[in-house]
Structure 1
């Protein structure tokens, strides 16, 4: 009798575990469908509006919504750069702002500062300035002193007075907010939030978190393969 009771207990436990696993699979599938549906609201990539690293005419864009004070974004930043460099002409990187409230005011002001760098020095200055912030911040909201934003601009050769005037005016806040609101519409809820888009086939899908280079490459290969098949 004892053995039979033990057997029944183990069978019940296996049944419960199987049910839980199936429910998790259903939940994950539903989340993926919802994420894909929201991603369709992604604002079209524009060379005039967006900050693009790599070939602007590449068939695939990795659109990242990011926060300069996010530690996962800090880790993700050089990984994406490697992906673009090893897929020259195939993939470009579109950077959009998504400063999280609990990382402000730092994340917000850093985002505005990169826009001032772009206004004064173009797309190249945007990326040089952004790279340095990610390299030097210790993250989590207070990782890079706001009073060092102007000296950092001067370090890359920008006019300090003009940069300070731009930053102090607060006029880049609307640009940052537009990116954030676009991200929300596309289903972004945390950082880094990434949407892969194939401009040729129209296929796209969303991912979240600081993915490894191998996983990013797999996503690119998948989109290129689907494009070829179509």
Structure 2
């Protein structure tokens, strides 16, 4: 194969690599997970500590490597340069290191993180092909005429790359696959007991194979929308799945002003084992109708609480009192874990790092390993929803 053809191939492959690394870099900038063939492997790799070196996403280093390879390939196409050995040797060295690193990271993802990232695999293949092309280029006979390339090709590749990354960036921004933690890995520093304290609000068996920990807001529209689907998941995996709810009231957010009071009211309901019933009733309220404590007091009325007593208790809540401290401790734990929005979910299973999810990615994760194996086949029976009369259990 001629040096001219090989130079064209390396240039095109370098731009393919720029697109792959560019998409992964954009996912870090936008705090989203790129499309992953319907799977969750990309999310698990992207949130793992190994995805950053010195606090810098590995994808940025990959983009820099591909940019260097593209520049070298472009330089070799200049008629005045011909096919200088130095440019080939530098390109060979960069692609060799890039291939080794890519193969190692892919191996680490599969064996240690137990996840498959199709973008990472695509990058490893692309870098390996560039390395192979450089090896052939080094062995190719010198041509009588200098290596030449239609000068329109590089500009076409640049324009195509910019357009493709622009479109992909728009898709990523609009995607529902949001990284709820904004790229934070703080949650990896906490043990299971931190996620599920002994007094946790819980549905499902304490020793369930898989636990979903939700940080939610009782005035959150997305939490309200996801609530019935979470009940469906509990019904589908009855006996194998546990759902833990922890408070994260976004009371400073417009439309959520009463969320802290709502959380405290739910803790009053919990005194009669009615936390989950309160949750169901609160999510059933039209949000535009909640301007004061009235709707939540009405819910407590149905559980047999005295309205005047409930109102006085809510009005007197302050730091140090049990109602305040229960809600505050949940919210404080959420902040420590990196929670920024609601709902944010963490999937817990023995021997597996906690996995932060939105509800969209949660559903996908439960259908993949290792969770799919732990959950086993769907239960034949069902749990009635809403879960009236179920105990508000605790434990791990």
> Do the two structures share a fold, i.e. TM-score over 0.5?
yes
State the partner residue of 2:76: none
1:163 positional shift: 2.9
1:193 positional shift: 0.5
Q: TM-score, normalised by structure 1?
A: 0.76
**Counterpart secondary structure, 2:345:** strand
Cα distance in 2 between the residues matched to 1:64 and 1:149: 21
Cα distance in 1 between the residues matched to 2:188 and 2:356: 6
State the partner residue of 1:116: 268
Alignment of 1:141-180 (within 5 A): 143=290, 145-170=292-317, 171=321, 172-180=323-331
Verify: 1:135 aligned to 2:281, yes or no: no
Cα distance in 2 between the residues matched to 1:70 and 1:188: 14
Verify: 1:70 aligned to 2:216, yes or no: no
- 1:175-225, Cα deviation, whole Å (9 max, x unpaired): 211111100111111010110001x324321012x4288436426x53253
C-alpha spacing 1:10/1:143, structure 2 compared with 1 (3 Å) = farther
1:65 positional shift: 0.4
- 1:132-176, Cα deviation, whole Å (9 max, x unpaired): 00011326xx64642222221111333434433432321312221
8 Å CA contact 1:69–1:137 kept in 2: the answer is no
8 Å CA contact 1:133–1:144 kept in 2: the answer is no
Cα distance in 1 between the residues matched to 2:353 and 2:360: 20
Verify: 1:84 aligned to 2:234, yes or no: yes
Cα distance in 1 between the residues matched to 2:180 and 2:219: 27
**Counterpart secondary structure, 2:313:** helix
8 Å CA contact 1:79–1:212 kept in 2: the answer is no
After the TM superposition, which of the residue ranges 104-113 and 30-39 deviates more from structure 2?
Answer: 30-39
Cα distance in 1 between the residues matched to 2:291 and 2:180: 35
Q: 1:13 aligns with which of 159, 174, 180?
A: 159
Cα distance in 2 between the residues matched to 1:144 and 1:161: 18
C-alpha spacing 1:128/1:216, structure 2 compared with 1 (3 Å) = farther
- 1:51-85, Cα deviation, whole Å (9 max, x unpaired): 00122221211000011111111111111111111
State the partner residue of 2:105: none
8 Å CA contact 1:80–1:213 kept in 2: the answer is no
Q: 2:354 aligns with which of 204, 209, 217?
A: 204
Aligned-CA RMSD value? 3.5
C-alpha spacing 1:86/1:218, structure 2 compared with 1 (3 Å) = same
